Structure 1
């Protein structure tokens, strides 16, 4: 089997030397003022794995925690972005979920984004790291913060156990069941939507959506919008979007985070960091296709300073 082409914008740095990088960072932060350019150029052009090695080399050479040093030298949005880059990917997801759940109110957007887009394998890793780092069970915390059908679908996604492959015999049946659960009846059988969209494989669901369109003359998204509301509607739509195209889902989320009064920097940072080594090249292509402008230019117009420079590095180029 051919190795899949790498679709991240950040690649492992070729002539990597963790000790040398630690020295450069130390110099950049020594004395009065900080050489932000060195910090951002260096850290945004290393892979996360390499950043962890720099962190270890820094500790060994200077007896200090690199993350603590960066925190004391940087500030604002730029600091948030650099600290996110320094966090191992699974820990970053776990910390974002923890932040979304703790305290007053719940950041449902984060729950939906992470649980709808991550692979089953990744979700299982997140659960382990969440328990280790925050001492609680992710499922219990989600159930404590959410309710109803929305909670049920989150819990199903949290199992990270979608079926494999396409079940040809059940494509028509699933499409008919979804049609019967929504458009065909008065009221909605939400359980049916949750069960089918939460458990079937992406490949299987793509075929179910095609069959559904033939059956009902409208897309499954239209049916979800007319049959459900609130968080359940948003989560079902996120699942459908990720089934159709994960990069498309993130391109849309990035566009929403910028094209409004005031930029949603938390979402912008989270997506740019968490997808930089996964599928940023595909997200960029989807963004251009959907909105007719490049992600790079949009970031340029919506952000400033070192924060902007670092985001543009993570973007990996202008289409």
Structure 2
């Protein structure tokens, strides 16, 4: 995905030459030892579409598979990060969803993060690519691996039938806010179906107005009510949807903060967000991170990671300044 006109930190490289880059990578991996620094500097300075062209040139020039060579030369988190960069953007989402559903147990965090944050157009492409890659429907895999209202909310999101962004039904704003209030705060028990229908089908612009109206009616932010009225994976999913409605970059900034706070770092989350948003809105995510947590994302990564893995993440992050 080219990043021109977007808020990504990774852009097309001026004077890009796939053959020269392929030769540089071959040199970095040939013989005794591997020049990890050269691999990192080159791949982080190329867009995803350029990396794919380098892989094609590598095959033409040397009759070798670039990804296979990288796998054999690199290890650990650094290897995982570099291989993520070499995957087409769309297929990276598909790969992460497949791994979340078909690994040992279901990784609900990945399902929540991807399905709550992607646009309807992106979700449609993900579903099509998932079917092409794995010969099965994404929705079928979700229904076989999840249950209850959590499953129903995921299925609604995968339908990708949310109203087009910008569409606001002024006459329905008040009604939706009242319905959410009656479904939660105003009754004994919770009418989860009402939350699922409204949060899963209305446009983000419409929902922002609903949330404002909800605050007027109830005296609570919608997040506070979800926190009180639901629990477990459903609560996390509904909160993720609300956060993405308010601001997708702020949602990812929050996810990155949580991935790095406390004992240990959730490297899978760190890799997935930095790689998948590097050509879309990582510059905005950096701004939200600084605004909401009082320090830069760059410094957080620097303090929480090490080695070639850290260097690669920092280069993808695009420095410590605003972009």
Q: Structure 2: 5+ residue runs without aligned partners?
A: none
Partner of 2:33: 33
Question: How does 1:1-319 map onto structure 2 within 5 Å?
Answer: 5-164=5-164, 165-319=167-321
Cα deviations across residues 239-262 of structure 1 (Å, max 9, x unaligned)? 000000000000000001111101
RMSD: 1.1
Give, in angstroms, the shift of residue 4 of structure 1: 8.8
State TM-score, norm by structure 2.
Answer: 0.97
Give, in angstroms, the shift of residue 137 of structure 1: 1.4
Give, in angstroms, the shift of residue 103 of structure 1: 3.2
Name the SS of the counterpart of 1:8 in structure 2: coil
Name the SS of the counterpart of 2:43 in structure 1: helix
Give, in angstroms, the shift of residue 5 of structure 1: 4.1
Q: Structure 1: 5+ residue runs without aligned partners?
A: none
| Shift >3 Å, 4+ stretches | none
Cα deviations across residues 5-51 of structure 1 (Å, max 9, x unaligned)? 42000001011000110000011111010111110000011000000
Give, in angstroms, the shift of residue 174 of structure 1: 0.4
Indicate conservation of the 8 Å contact 2:4/2:11, yes or no.
no
Count of aligned pairs between the two proteins: 317
Distance change in 2, residues 1:279/1:22 (3 Å): same
Give, in angstroms, the shift of residue 161 of structure 1: 1.6
Name the SS of the counterpart of 1:177 in structure 2: helix
- Separation of aligned partners in 2, 1:87 and 1:104: 23
Cα deviations across residues 105-124 of structure 1 (Å, max 9, x unaligned)? 11000000000000111111
- Separation of aligned partners in 2, 1:286 and 1:241: 13
Name the SS of the counterpart of 1:206 in structure 2: helix
